[in-house]
Structure 1
């Protein structure tokens, strides 16, 4: 196998270890942590590992392809970059790094409302191919303006988020001063001083800011008033009345992210949505919930022929992508693995991680003698 990635970091775990050494601890814990006791974050990973696939060696085999169609677009592999908030805090300029890599690899990149690059900038990098994930604004006028910006930027898919009716309880963030409003403690300052590469890049690219939201923020807004602004600006609890006008307004594909039940999937179908992403926010919202792989199988079995069923949360490599698709996902997304890559390797991190995941998934496909991604469910050991 011809390696197109840095062989010093041949796994996502290697990137995670390197990332932890390169960025301040408060930034790493924000990236790496779940909520409460991290039970569901860890369950996402462990339950995926229990999914087994069966190879059939003595059969006709003509080679494997990773190419996958989603919403009429052919991507080079069945995975993309999930939306992640405050990406620039974890590694400066990381949204642009990852968006550029996704564009070059022909993979979808989803921009979060609350990350550190704007809709317009990411659309420019990806030539209008990036998706946009909307945190639901409290005011209809703000909602409509953000959606119009996404439309003007030619985003093909709008993702609306249903699993943040309230923010997860994250003890690490409280201890590190990253709850709202964030604060820079002496401990955090000392951590920054110990990570000169991160500090220099932050100096070059500037302090992280919510770039998409800047035009709506009062001038001179300081950190003490940021929490109040966010609380007043966003209302995370979705319902039928909030989704209907978005469906009427958005002419592209509309996806509901954070789905974990048959009931929510059925409602998404009734409201005319085009896809759901089975997700528990990386285990960052409800520690007592199921891992994503558990409801994925039920949802895909019942509704997979009526709506695109995708998945994120807990995937850490090519075998996990294969496991999720074999269980019923038509496509997968990952947040932490790509952020580990960017934090570990800077501007080379996105390209490295995508090459690595493709190589891992290709090896699994060849080992299974599975020629097409859509045939992976035939390899599932039930």
Structure 2
């Protein structure tokens, strides 16, 4: 499809500035912030941008293509939309907007268990091409029900989240009342009144809720009861014993997300995973950990040809995608960049972000004379 995007917002920095003007502060800070002192949040992008690429200007270069084969499907770019919780809080109807754009651009969209669209709705929008990310439920019956729904909706890839054994301490969310249980403060109400477009669209689309989880909730839960339900329903810690029945049930491709060590990658291979997403949850879980790209280096060195290695966390631009692929990733995902774009531009945000990223990545490929995304490691300056 033709790549057109709004020239008023040619970079993610422009989108961030506009998004901050469009959504209430509590919603923007939920998207933008990390845990504790934001050390790992900042390191993620900074250390990706330490990666340098070597151009070969006199090489014979015909053309560059971004097409990338992954799990039997050829995508039009080597990046996808990472799972993000509570997307409808940041912009009404956000997961539907992004899923539609992902389908139209032929890139993967990963639906989070705790976002604001259902398994069935996103499958309908993407014609069965979306991936599904599973937050591990405490009860086997809920786990099995969710997996069966994803299978019935023909999701090709199930992504098991492993890096939330406990919720990160996020000072902004605590101050803003977005910890569990959530609460609406007078300050939050005043912020909503200052963002009339966001407020009107929220009124039209309805208060954001955990659509996938609604069949397992009692009707009319209060904020406090919702918090109790979430704490009761999810046990984020996964291990070999909990993974085995998932592998037995799921007949499609299985990916482990949140991997940050060679040891966990080795276990993922042994347990039958088809891929891993190296990630530190966008700097929202462990402030004292490594950046995602630093964690990925030994994984690439030891397991590059044994399992598909993907990465998210800290990737903000098409140039960052190039740097990450050059460092050995087979594929990349971004969450915040797409959400900034939807918050800034509403219904046009998904198409804008994908087009912008494709243009940025294409320019790098042609500049360094890289014909295929798989060739990026040949341009890495070590």
Q: What TM-score do the two structures reach when normalised by structure 1?
A: 0.99
**Who is 1:127 aligned against?**
127
In structure 2, C-alpha distance between the alignment counterparts of 1:266 and 1:4, rounded to whole Å: 42
Is 2:245 the partner of 1:254?
A: no
**Who is 1:370 aligned against?**
370
| SS state at 1:80 partner | strand
In structure 1, C-alpha distance between the alignment counterparts of 2:81 and 2:201, rounded to whole Å: 22
Q: Cα–Cα, structure 1 residues 3 and 108, in superposed 2: closer, same or farther, change >3 Å?
A: closer
CA-CA distance at 1:3 after TM superposition: 6.0
CA-CA distance at 1:79 after TM superposition: 0.3
Is 2:295 the partner of 1:295?
A: yes
**Who is 1:281 aligned against?**
281
Alignment of 1:175-186 (within 5 A): 175-186=175-186
**Who is 2:148 aligned against?**
148
CA-CA distance at 1:296 after TM superposition: 1.0
CA-CA distance at 1:301 after TM superposition: 1.5
Query: Deviations along 1:292-328, whole A, 9 cap, x unmatched?
Result: 0111121012101000000000001011000101101
| SS state at 1:218 partner | coil
| SS state at 1:141 partner | helix
Is 2:81 the partner of 1:76?
A: no
**Who is 1:167 aligned against?**
167
Query: Deviations along 1:191-227, whole A, 9 cap, x unmatched?
Result: 0000001001000100000000001001221111111
CA-CA distance at 1:127 after TM superposition: 0.2
| SS state at 1:97 partner | helix
Query: Deviations along 1:252-288, whole A, 9 cap, x unmatched?
Result: 0000000000000000000010000000000000001
In structure 1, C-alpha distance between the alignment counterparts of 2:89 and 2:187, rounded to whole Å: 16
In structure 2, C-alpha distance between the alignment counterparts of 1:190 and 1:62, rounded to whole Å: 56
In structure 2, C-alpha distance between the alignment counterparts of 1:201 and 1:166, rounded to whole Å: 33
| SS state at 1:212 partner | helix
Question: Which 10-residue stretch deviates more, 208-217 or 292-301?
Answer: 292-301
Is 2:108 the partner of 1:115?
A: no
In structure 2, C-alpha distance between the alignment counterparts of 1:203 and 1:4, rounded to whole Å: 30
Is 2:85 the partner of 1:85?
A: yes
Query: Deviations along 1:27-67, whole A, 9 cap, x unmatched?
Result: 00000000000010000010011000000000111110000
**Who is 2:104 aligned against?**
104
| SS state at 2:340 partner | helix
Question: Which 10-residue stretch deviates more, 339-348 or 215-224?
Answer: 215-224
CA-CA distance at 1:82 after TM superposition: 0.2
What are structure 2's unaligned runs of at least 5 residues?
none
In structure 2, C-alpha distance between the alignment counterparts of 1:202 and 1:219, rounded to whole Å: 20
In structure 1, C-alpha distance between the alignment counterparts of 2:3 and 2:348, rounded to whole Å: 15
Query: Deviations along 1:61-101, whole A, 9 cap, x unmatched?
Result: 11100000001100000000000000000000000000000
In structure 2, C-alpha distance between the alignment counterparts of 1:220 and 1:34, rounded to whole Å: 31
Q: What TM-score do the two structures reach when normalised by structure 2?
A: 0.99
In structure 2, C-alpha distance between the alignment counterparts of 1:74 and 1:378, rounded to whole Å: 22
Question: RMSD value over aligned CA atoms?
Answer: 0.7
In structure 2, C-alpha distance between the alignment counterparts of 1:220 and 1:4, rounded to whole Å: 43
What are structure 1's unaligned runs of at least 5 residues?
none
| SS state at 2:316 partner | coil
